[in-house]
Amino acid sequence: MPSPDNFEASLRAYDPQLRLRWGPALQRWVIERKQRVSETALEVYQSFASRPDATPMDAEKLISAKRGCHPVLSPLILGDYVFKELWVADLQVHGTAVVDRDMKRGEDNKTRGRGAGVAASRVAADALEYLNRRDVTDDKIRREVLDSAFEVKAAPERKPKPNASKVVNRLGKPPKWMGRDAAQVGV
């Protein structure tokens, strides 16, 4: 849990209008935004706070209004989740234009990626069609055509390993259900 001073510095980096204070009525932290509070709003907050059935939040709203702020959030503990909650509260107030823009950007990137993948698959299909039409059996020519189609150099052909991998149990021996001849995979 960060110290209140460090957390308030992070809050101000997120939004310079945000303030942090301990709310005595709620017995928790109050994050408030520095904004103009009209005289009418201040009177309303005073009337709500002076009622017999007033809630602790009514008292906190009055305290914030006297400081020229509006309460935004009242977390019990300070942590990274507070910034997510602030972001969601901003969306509720200001709309989803930012999210819509980010989602559109992501969809555009995905479409561009799909377009590049489709183009690459067409090139590969053309290369394979050429190889099948020509009935190319020479591996060197086949490798050159595929290299030019994919614009990458194919890995050199490897010789098979002399020892095939063994299927073994945790003791390092072939399981009993496998016959002796089946212990070698790929033989």
CA separation (Å) from 19 to 13, 57, 60, 86?
A: 11, 17, 14, 12
Per residue in 130-169, pLDDT (tens digit) is: 766 666 666 677 677 666 666 655 455 666 555 545 555 5
pLDDT computed for residue 171 by the predictor: 60
Higher pLDDT, 96 or 21: 21
Whether the per-residue pLDDT at 121 is higher than 70: the answer is yes
Reduce the DSSP state of residue 136 to 3 states and report it. Answer: coil
- Nearest in space to 32 (alpha carbons), one of 73, 89, 91, 93: 73
pLDDT computed for residue 65 by the predictor: 92
Residue 165 in contact with residue 185, Cβ under 8 Å?
yes
Higher pLDDT, 87 or 17: 17
Per residue in 68-95, pLDDT (tens digit) is: 998 888 888 888 888 888 887 776 566 6
Q: Is the pTM of this model over 0.75?
A: no
Break the chain into its structural domains and give their ranges: 4-95, 108-150
Quick one: pLDDT band at residue 122, thresholds 50, 70, 90? confident
Higher pLDDT, 22 or 172: 22
**Beta strands 18-23 and 28-34, pairing class:** antiparallel
Whether the per-residue pLDDT at 112 is higher than 60: the answer is yes
pLDDT computed for residue 101 by the predictor: 75
Largest CA distance in the chain: 94
Whether the per-residue pLDDT at 178 is higher than 60: the answer is no
pLDDT computed for residue 79 by the predictor: 87
Q: How much is the mean pLDDT over the chain?
A: 76
Whether the per-residue pLDDT at 23 is higher than 70: the answer is yes
pLDDT computed for residue 182 by the predictor: 46
